[in-house]
Amino acid sequence: MLEIDIGGGRKIQLDLPEIKAKAVLIGMGSILVLVGLLTSVYTVQTEEEGVVLRFGKYQSTQVPGLHFKLPFFIDRVEKVAVERQMKQEFGFGTRENANPNQYEGKAEQDQEKKMVTGDLNAARVEWVVQYRVSQPREYLFNVRDADETLRDAAESVMREVVGDRTVDEVITIGRQEIEDENIKKLQQVVNKYRMGISIDQVQLMAVKPPLPVEESFDEVNRTEQERATAVNIANGEYNKKVPKAMGEAEQSVTRAEGYAVKRVNEAQGDAARFEALLKAYEEAPEVTRRRMHLETMQKVMPVLERKIIMDEAGKHILPLLQLNQGGIQR
């Protein structure tokens, strides 16, 4: 008990243990309120969805924004990036890829890339799988580790697809088909186990033969590329010259057809004129003959430079002609 003299003979008695107890209670209450406030508010970012668990059991899925939950860790929130594209690399590794399921050891990567083709040849395949989380609840709870399970499934599917093809198809002409079939089959496996993942892309980064025969195989590929280049050049020349020749031939045919039509029309016109002349001759022979003579002279006389006019017997020449300039023309 503590006594305090406040003057005038008056004193105040304070019970220190009681005051300390009240202060402790107030402090603890304040701390509990503060902790409750801090643990009941959470934020979901724009590229995320929040999965709320109550005593470890699924409660709800929250969209981006500010949200409230029961405090004191009664509710727990698992935030899952649903808009972010994730990537797993197979047979190789880059520093930019921070996927914890990625193989980092060279020996593990070499073992992962070795595959057997359908014709019992070996190939080294490096590829990338890009994916997103489409169903956060399934991604968190349906399998123990969705990313690791996806990796195992992707490797299994790739080995199956490569095993259905020859080494030439795998290394050269069949790459696009392999990628497309991988996407289809891998998505089927993911859907079967309800992993909540959507496969965006499967991309072959490098497909090579085994090291002992790589140089020879590259030489064959170079030869094939040179052959393809030569064929393309030849096709280009063909496409350039053949249409031109066909066009010229078509023009020649068109000109010939036009000339033929012209000649036929002229022949038909000449025949029509002859028939008309024959009919006129049959009706009036003398008149027609004289008309033909006059028409012929009208055509001939203008083109002659010198003209000598004689009588019918050829004995008399008309005067006024200068016969000493160039002689007589018959």
pLDDT means per 10 residues, the chain with 330 residues, are 55 57 70 73 92 92 91 89 92 76 79 91 93 95 93 95 91 90 96 95 90 73 81 87 85 88 86 80 80 78 68 55 47
| Cα distance between residue 251 and residue 248, in whole Å | 5
Confidence at residue 51, expressed as pLDDT on a 0 to 100 scale: 94
| Structural domains for the chain | 2-80 (no CATH), 86-209 (3.30.479.30)
Model pTM greater than 0.75?
no
CB contact at 8 A, 196 and 133: yes
Cα dihedral sign, 279-281-282-283:
positive
Confidence at residue 328, expressed as pLDDT on a 0 to 100 scale: 44
Confidence at residue 176, expressed as pLDDT on a 0 to 100 scale: 93
Whose CA is closest to 113, among 163, 171, 159, 166?
A: 159
CB contact at 8 A, 37 and 69: no
Instruction: Write out the two tokens for 23.
Output: 């202060």
Tokens 């017997």 belong to which residue?
313
Confidence at residue 330, expressed as pLDDT on a 0 to 100 scale: 43
Confidence at residue 249, expressed as pLDDT on a 0 to 100 scale: 87
